[in-house]
Structure 1
Amino acid sequence: MDSIYFHPNRFSHSNVLVTGAAQGIGKTVALRLALEGANLALVDRDASVHEYAAELQQSCTGKIFSVTADLENWEGAQTMVDETLSQLNSIDIAINAVGGTIWAKPFERYSDEEIIREIDRSLFTTLWSVRAELPGMIEQQKGTIINVSSVATAGINRVPYAAAKGGVNALTSALAREAASHGIRVVATAPGGTLAPARDIPRGPVPQSDEERAWYQDIVEQTLDSSLMGRYGTLEEQAAAITFLASKEASYITGSVLPVAGGDQG
């Protein structure tokens, strides 16, 4: 892979909120923003986000602080925004990166409780977050919201997750129309399969049976087959697309969902 080039000071004087910042795409986005001068509110439900914020603050010039909140409910989203505004006074950019498949199996094998949990994890975390972020942006008549969706909207063995991310796409498109008159852009990326270190906070149970492992392997094979490049992406490639959409370079882009999946359009 070629080196990832940073843009020093691209986000200096910008107040940026990043959810899901303790690991995965959200954590990598936070690192890039910190290196490019942003003031950051890092949000996660896991307390490790506090350690990560302190680590970034040691080497970066912007103000960086952290919030623990469960974004699967409205109260958590409102707490996140209230604490961010108390520290940064405004939210110029909000990056909503919480979500992820919990189970991998054919749709008929999901229980009703599992379906609800998938929707709560990968749709309501974004829906509540955006609802909390929006009023302050309307008041200041500017802002950018970037949602993280997925090309798994056309994937197998995770229909509830696909439905949730389809909802994120619809939220992005519909809200962009409402928010444009307030000077607010609303966009999304749709990551494909992405290489990442083992998760400190598992999304769900590890496949145990041969059948469960086969269902997960079907997802891996479909991901590779759907990518024109025939590979998984990297966290840095996902962060590069998100930070581009967050930047002034993307000032004429709204309502769009950008696939970042090696040619897989989802």
Structure 2
Amino acid sequence: MTDNAYHCRRFEGQTAVVTGAAQGIGRATALRLAAEGARVIVADRAAPQADAVRDEIRAAGGQAEVVLADLETWAGAQQLAAGALAAYGHVDVLVNNVGGTIWARPYWEYAPEEIEKEVQRSLWPTLWTCRAVIPHMVERRSGAIVNVGSTATRGVFRVPYTASKGGIHAITVSLAYELAEFGVRVNCIAPGGTNVGQRAIPRTPTPPTERDQQWMKGVLDQTLQDTFIKRFATPDEQAAAICFLAAPEASYLTGYVLPVSGGTPI
């Protein structure tokens, strides 16, 4: 943001809510939206990291507020919607980015409670946050929602996660049908392998075992093998696609699931 990387102001006067904005793709998206003029709600449950993103936006001359919420719950989604409206009065853009594989292993190796946690982590935040924010967009007859799915729907060792992301792809299309008459667009990106660096907060409660590491290597190997460009994406490349789908020039696009994957299909 400090090197004038973005010269357009596509989101001037708009408010954008980005979930999971404390790191990775969410952070890159929040920074880009702010650089293009949006007032950004940095939504996360990791206070120090979320505060750091807010401060980075403000230091570059942008506007941002933090709303801390557990979006795996309906109460957390309501808290986010209320916080966004209290801060800026309206929501124009919603980016549902929360989610991510907790474990990588053959399906039959998952404990039942692990399956539930994967779905709780990667499906419910999008369902709950859409439910909390959509009534406001319908009332204003305007809005753009961008969900974050995954090309993992064709991958190995992550069945509960892929079920969740496949659900997000389906949610996108169904909501696009329902919301078109109200002027609300709903689209989705399906990221391929993306190098987000070292996570500030590990997803797994305990360090991975040697077997876990081998299964994760299988995930990474397959991802790279299936990618035409033969490298992982950067968070900025994913953020660019998200911002395009949210922007006014995409006004005739709704109900699409866009692979941002270097050629990997979904």
TM-score greater than 0.5 by the shorter chain: yes
Please name the residue that 1:207 is paired with: 208
Deviation at 1:60, TM superposition (A): 2.0
Q: Which residue of 2 aligns with 1:124?
A: 124
Q: Is the CA contact 1:94–1:146 (under 8 Å) kept in the aligned structure 2?
A: yes
Name the SS for the 1:178 alignment partner: helix
The aligned residue for residue 42 of structure 1 is 42
Instruction: Output aligned runs, 1:246-261, within 5 Å.
Output: 246-261=246-261
Report the more deviating stretch, 146-155 or 200-209. Answer: 200-209
Secondary structure of 2:123 counterpart: helix
Q: Percent identity?
A: 47
For 1:212 and 1:96, the matched residues in 2 are separated by: 28
Distance 1:40 1:83 in 2: 12
What amino acid does structure 1 have at the position aligned with 2:170?
Answer: A
Letter in 1 for 2:56: E
SS at match of 1:118: helix
1:122·1:161 contact (CA, 8 Å) conserved in 2? yes
Number of the residue aligned with 1:152: 152
Q: C-alpha deviations, 1:165-217, integer Å up to 9, x for none?
A: 000011000010000000000000000000122000112244222x2221111
Please give the alpha-carbon distance, in whole angstroms, between the structure 2 residues aligned to 1:19 and 1:7: 25
Distance 2:127 2:162 in 1: 15
Structure 1: gaps (5+ residues) = none
Taking the aligned partners of 2:240 and 2:56, their CA distance within structure 1 comes to: 21
TM-score (norm 2): 0.96
Is 1:12 matched up with 2:12?
A: yes
CA shift at 1:227, angstroms? 0.6
CA shift, 1:5, in A, is 4.9
Secondary structure, in 3 states, of the residue corresponding to 1:202? Answer: coil
1:60 equivalent in structure 2: 61
Matched, 1:134 2:141: no
For structure 2, list consecutive stretches of 5 or more residues without a partner in the other structure: none
CA drift of 1:135 comes to 0.3
Pairwise CA distance, 1:231: 1.3
Equivalent AA in structure 1 for residue 44 of structure 2: D
- 1:200 and 1:55 map into 2 onto residues whose CA distance is 16
Q: 2:12 corresponds to which letter in structure 1?
A: S
CA deviations on 1:121-170 (whole Å, 9 max, x unpaired) are 00001100111010000000010000001000111000000000000011
Query: What is the distance in 1 between the residues matched to 2:221 and 2:66?
Result: 37
Matched AA of 1:54: D
Q: Write the letter of the residue equivalent to 2:185.
A: R
**Moved segments of 4+, more than 4 Å:** none
Please give the alpha-carbon distance, in whole angstroms, between the structure 1 residues aligned to 2:191 and 2:91: 24
Query: Following the alignment from structure 1 to structure 2, what is the Cα–Cα distance between the partners of residues 135 and 50?
Result: 28
Q: How does 1:1-266 map to 2 (within 5 A)?
A: 5-48=5-48, 49-61=50-62, 63-204=63-204, 205-209=206-210, 211-266=211-266
Q: Secondary structure at the match of 1:259?
A: strand
CA gap of 1:4–1:100, structure 2 versus 1, over 3 A, is farther
Distance 2:126 2:4 in 1: 28
Does 105-114 or 51-60 show the bigger shift?
51-60
Contact between 1:43 and 1:66, CA under 8 Å: does it hold in 2? yes
Separation of aligned partners in 1, 2:244 and 2:221: 29
- 2:141, 2:163 → 1: CA distance? 32
Residues 37 and 60 in structure 1, CA contact (< 8 A), matched pair in contact too: no
TM-score after normalising by structure 1: 0.96
Letter in 2 for 1:92: D
Count of matched residue pairs: 262
| Native 8 Å contact 1:192 1:259 kept in 2 | yes
For residues 61-82 of structure 1, the C-alpha deviation after alignment (integer angstroms, 9 at most, x for no partner) is: 4x31011000000000000000
Q: Distance in 2 between the 1:37 and 1:197 partners?
A: 27
Aligned to 1:194, the other structure's residue is in SS state coil
